[in-house]
Amino acid sequence: MITLHYAPEVETARAEGSPVVALESTIITHGMPYPQNVETARKVEQTIRDQGATPATIAVIAGQLHIGLTSDELDSLGQAKDVAKLSRADMAACIATGGTGATTVAATMIAARLAGIEVFATGGIGGVHRGAEDSFDISADLQELSQTAVTVVAAGAKAILDLPKTLEVLETLGVPVIAYGQDTLPAFWSRESDLAAPLRMDDAVSIAKAHRMRAAMGLPGGQLMANPIPAFAEIPAATLAPIIAQALQEAAEQGIDGKSVTPFLLGRIFELTNGASLEANIALVLNNARLAAEIARNLTQIGAN
């Protein structure tokens, strides 16, 4: 069995049976520069605390799987260089060889399951990349959602992806895709897309009940809560479309592929929007953290599976 290293506040929450929300760490190591990355991570953690739950930022540090980070560990990770970006395929190898890595959506879900954490807040999930019919570039996040029983709160899939194909794959895999408070799927930086949401829920109680019912029915996998970005922070899809197209063209021209694609695209979109995309990203992550904490509280009130 793998040894999990719990941060003190997470260990206390576990002992008390109080709600915990998992957080990924790639937003710290691959999402923005220091010190803004650490400042943002601390804001997200505090948002969860303010909502009555305990944050558990997950990362692999020197071969140890950490469920929650101390302030010093968070600061150290935020300044670390050459941190691996971990998904299902390479997470075990990183731990076994004593490496340090930040967890993507898929890896965070795996760690959350190991730690008994049922809710995870992130920015946006990975999905089907544009041109996947030629490249076969599809995120492992989608398969993870179909087999790991964690409710993931995100602002939809990242807008740089092929959203219709991403939704189609999720439906094929049997993943519940639930829009929060609206009938269309959010598109990360934009509140709405032209895609109808397969499911809609308007309150955290219903989301928690659906999570518990899946467990009671023996259904594998989690559920995706698509939580729209706050209206004050959104960037209209029409504004983003030519910017995303330019970033995609540049990535193709420079031969960028694999795990390097998403960080490159997000970086270029940040530059082309004069930083507005990052501000929107921070707002949506904080919004997702609030909803995730509310869901976690309701799961605790309902009781264990």
Catalytic residue at 24? yes
DSSP letter for each residue of the chain = -PPEEE-HHHHHHHHHT--EEEE-SHHHHTSS-TTHHHHHHHHHHHHHHHTT-EEEEEEEETTEEEES--HHHHHHHHH-SS-EEE-HHHHHHHHHTT--EEE-HHHHHHHHHHHT--EEE-S-B--BPTTHHHH--B-HHHHHHHHS--EEEESSB-TTS-HHHHHHHHHHTT--EEEESSSB--BTTBS--SSBPSEEE-SHHHHHHHHHHHHHTT--S-EEEE-PPPGGG---HHHHHHHHHHHHHHHHHTT--GGGHHHHHHHHHHHHTTTHHHHHHHHHHHHHHHHHHHHHHHHHHH---
Inter-axis angle of helices 140-147 and 163-172, to 10 degrees? 30
**Number of Cβ within a 10 Å radius of residue 116:** 12
CA distances from 183 to 33, 39, 129, 162, 241 (A): 35, 34, 24, 19, 22
Residue 49 corresponds to which amino acid? R
For residue 192, indicate whether it is catalytic. no
Give the active site residue among 24, 118, 192, 294.
24
- Of the residues 45, 85, 158, 234, only one is catalytic, namely 158
Residue among 130, 299, 126 at smallest CA distance from 211: 299
**One-letter amino acid identity for 269?**
I
Active site residues: 24, 158
